[in-house]
Chains A and B, each alone.
Chain A
Amino acid sequence: GAVVSQHPSWVICKSGTSVKIECRSLDFQATTMFWYRQFPKQSLMLMATSNEGSKATYEQGVEKDKFLINHASLTLSTLTVTSAHPEDSSFYICSARDYRGNIQYFGAGTRLSVL
């Protein structure tokens, strides 16, 4: 099946710094990618929908200035957690839909720990 690559898989940073997470669709073009956040033992919560060449659409309660999304090409979306704080520590997962089969594939996730 189609592959979505997410990098890095794990990052530790100091409070106040910014962290960038990349999400790539490896063998298909993705005009739309999605960013999710997952807390321990909970399900995935949609944060935002990333649209190639336009602004991302954020879910209610998600700060767009805190979580910057850029979707500059049909195969790459990035999520930047700006001025990270310990409460931003979480597991972030991206996904992309392959419209050829209407299946949404997921990256392996990024575990962010903010000290």
Chain B
Amino acid sequence: SQELEQSPQSLIVQEGKNLTINCTSSKTLYGLYWYKQKYGEGLIFLMMLQKGGEEKSHEKITAKLDEKKQQSSLHITASQPSHAGIYLCGALRGSNDMRFGAGTRLTVKP
């Protein structure tokens, strides 16, 4: 079973709309990473969160990690077709390898 639960599994939004993707863990996260993947390509690093309550932003994407370090959200403001892709949250298991959620497939309609 997935150690990280992502929701929703897929999302279709109209261009210009805001959206939120969630990532939940049953265990405390030592580091939470957000990546974006286009079909058939590698993963592009977006953001890393380590501290409880931490929030980071890059252009129109904001990621937050809750105080308990068990839930993270990724928020996109005024979505554009270029935001389309698969968003994956990843967490370090122990101090070494990274495990991923199932991913959220985002489609942005022009």
B28-77, CB < 8 A from A = 31, 33, 35, 40-45, 48
Q: How many A-B residue pairs have CB under 8 A?
A: 51
Residues of A within 8 A of B35 (CB): 106
Q: Cα distance A111–B41 when bound, in Å?
A: 9
Q: Is the CB of B102 within 8 A of A46?
A: no
A108 within 8 A of B: yes
Q: Is the CB of B96 within 8 A of A109?
A: no
Q: Cα distance A109–B37 when bound, in Å?
A: 11
Q: Cα distance A34–B88 when bound, in Å?
A: 17
Question: A43-B103, A44-B88, A103-B48 known; A49 and B97 CB under 8 Å?
Answer: yes
Chain B, interface size category, equals: 20 to 34
User: Nearest CB to that of B31 among chain A residues?
Assistant: A102
Q: Is the CB of A108 within 8 A of B42?
A: yes
Chain A contact residues: over half helix, strand or loop, or mixed? strand
Cross-interface CB contact of B43 among A46, A102, A106, cutoff 8 Å: A106
Cross-interface CB contact of B98 among A41, A104, A109, cutoff 8 Å: A104
- How far is the CB of B74 from the nearest CB of chain A, in Å? 16
Chain B contact residues: over half helix, strand or loop, or mixed? strand
Q: Is the CB of A43 within 8 A of B96?
A: no
User: Nearest CB to that of A42 among chain B residues?
Assistant: B102
A93 within 8 A of B: yes
B58-110, CB < 8 A from A = 88, 90, 96-103, 105
- 1/0 contact trace for A61-88 toward B, CB 8 Å? 0000000000000000000000000000
User: Nearest CB to that of B35 among chain A residues?
Assistant: A106
Q: Is the CB of B98 within 8 A of A91?
A: no
User: Nearest CB to that of A45 among chain B residues?
Assistant: B100
Residues of A within 8 A of B33 (CB): 103-104
Question: A42-B102, A43-B88, A44-B88 known; A1 and B45 CB under 8 Å?
Answer: yes
